[in-house]
Amino acid sequence: MTKQVKPTLVSIILYEALFLLSGFFSTLGQQFLYYQGAATGLSLLTNTATYLGMAAVGFLLLPGWYGSRKNNDDINMASMTKDYQLLPGTEEETSIDAQNIINTNQPKEVVDHKIIFAAACLDVIANFALTIGFFYVGSGMYQVIYSSVVIWCAILSFFFLGRKISFVQSISIIGVSVGLALSALGINQNKELTTPPPPSSSTGTTMPHSYHMSNTMFGMLLTSFATFGYACVYVVSDQILTARAPNTLPPSPKKVCFLVGTYGSLISFIYIIFYTIPNWNILITQEMVKKMPHSSNFVIILMYLILSFSSFIHNFAYYWLMKEIGNVSTSILNALRAIIVFGLSHMMFCKIDHGQCLNIWKGWSAFIVVGFVTIFSVSKARESK
């Protein structure tokens, strides 16, 4: 029996950096494509790129699959050799038979494709709503709202999985709700900005801005709804990864990620074939002419390819961190990601979209939401010890 080797501090920092950097790029990259007119909520192009990256996690399963297949081939070869031996030794025969008995008695991994496909369908719906909300509220507020997914997961787990919520966790849930409510005041303050909006052209506003109260509030509500939907996906995935029948093993997180990504890619491709491509002129061509008429097609295609690769790196690092340091630490990393993306969105996009500008209410909202998410995560960590 091999002893499990603990990861070094350097490797943990490396994977945390990969997780954060790929998360930054995924969020800001999608926002960049939107401002170029190369991505809209209804086109589902950025979603498809994300699912392709998730499906690419399947490449990480190949070494284990090859090793398992090689082990089975070795056992079969040993059995065939035993059958052709004229005078087999008693000890050798006994060892081969014992090995075969151990192999047959080992729990087998069972994959329920119906449940995973249902989780993938729910993921696609939530991702679809999240993308539309994302383009309404902007990358900064989106990341803050989405960081509350860990709270929704706890509430759903309490009702459907019978898991307890402590007093500190209850206070954290209330605190996150207050923080999200404060963001509405920040949106209202952005509406009152006296700085001029982006320049207009004959086709309308060149850079649609997200500081209109009605549009941004709709995006905020839609993003919150989609975050709740993603929490449902995580709870279903939790059930897939933990529920097991006698003498069976649930699928590994990597395999679930691969299958959800594959099913999500197939559903997205069907949508693109039957809706996005027939409406390409309205969804993409006209948007690019209106927002950024001189944008480079090469840069846009390259950005989509990098977006898929970033999704692969993000999921690869996520499952490594989940295995080595646990889901609580990754929740804290997501909270840190929310704060940094909030600041980067202000620096990169405030001049072209007033909805991305930081103000005191948005700052307090981000601070309160991320703070209570961190308190909640630390409380969960102490509870599991």
Cα 311 to Cα 18, 27, 58, 294, distances in angstroms:
11, 10, 13, 28
Place of tokens 């086109």: 43
Q: Is residue 3, in this structure, part of any structural domain at all?
A: no
- The amino acid that residue 324 corresponds to is E
CA 64 to mean position of chain CA atoms: 24
DSSP code string of 245-259? -TTEEPPPHHHHHHH
Q: Could you tell me what percentage of the chain is helix, strand and coil, using 3-state DSSP and rounding each to the nearest 5? A: 80, 0, 20
Highest mean pLDDT out of 54-68, 300-314, 338-352:
300-314
Structural contact between residues 114 and 302, judged by C-beta atoms closer than 8 angstroms: no
User: What is the residue whose two structure tokens read 């943990």?
Assistant: 12
Give, for 268, the enclosing helix (H) or strand (E): helix 253-271
d(CA 55, CA 224): 26
d(CA 289, CA 20): 33
Considering its fold, how many domains does the chain have in total?
1
Count of C-beta atoms within a 10 Å radius of residue 301: 11
Which residue, 207, 288, 333, 374, is CA-closest to 38? 288
Higher pLDDT, 71 or 352: 352
Rounded Cα distance, 109 and 116, in Å: 14
**pLDDT for position 46:** 94
Burial of 215 per CB tally in 10 Å (0-12, 13-18, 19+): middle
Distance CA 327, CA 221 (A): 26
- Flag whether 171 is in a domain: yes
| Mean model confidence pLDDT for the chain | 79
Q: Pick the most confident of 109-113, 122-126, 322-326, 331-335.
A: 122-126
Three-class DSSP category at 108? strand
Q: Which pTM was predicted?
A: 0.77
Strands (DSSP E) along the chain, which ranges?
108-109, 200-201, 204-205, 248-249
Runs of H (alpha helix) within 1-112: 9-35, 45-55, 62-84, 90-105
For residue 4, is it within any domain?
A: no
The band of 71, judged by pLDDT with boundaries at 50, 70 and 90, is low
Print the domain residue range for 60: 9-384
The per-residue pLDDT for range 91-110, each reduced to its tens digit, is 555 555 555 554 556 778 88
Q: Residue 2 falls within a domain, yes or no?
A: no
Q: What is the mean pLDDT of residues 260-289?
A: 95
Residue 172 lies in a domain: yes
- Classify residue 202 by its DSSP letter: T
Reported residue count of the chain is 385
Nearby residues of 159 by Cβ (< 8 Å), 6 or more positions away? none
Contact predicate 383/166, CB 8 Å: yes
Between the alpha carbon of residue 2 and those of residues 96, 193, 196, the distances in Å are 21, 63, 65
CB 116 within 8 A of CB 260: yes
What's the CA gap between 180 and 361, in Å, rounded?
Answer: 10
Does any domain span residue 126? yes
Is the pLDDT assigned to residue 123 strictly greater than 50?
A: yes
pLDDT of 202 reads 32
282 in helix, strand or coil?
A: helix
Cβ proximity of 267 and 160 under 8 Å: no
Query: pLDDT tens-digit profile of 337-384?
Result: 877 887 888 888 888 887 788 788 878 888 888 888 888 878 876 766
Whether the CB-CB separation of 241 and 14 falls below 8 Å is answered with: no
As a whole-number percent, the residues of the chain with pLDDT over 70 amount to 76
Q: Minimum mean pLDDT among 107-111, 129-133, 189-193, 348-352: which range?
A: 189-193
3-state secondary structure of 1: coil
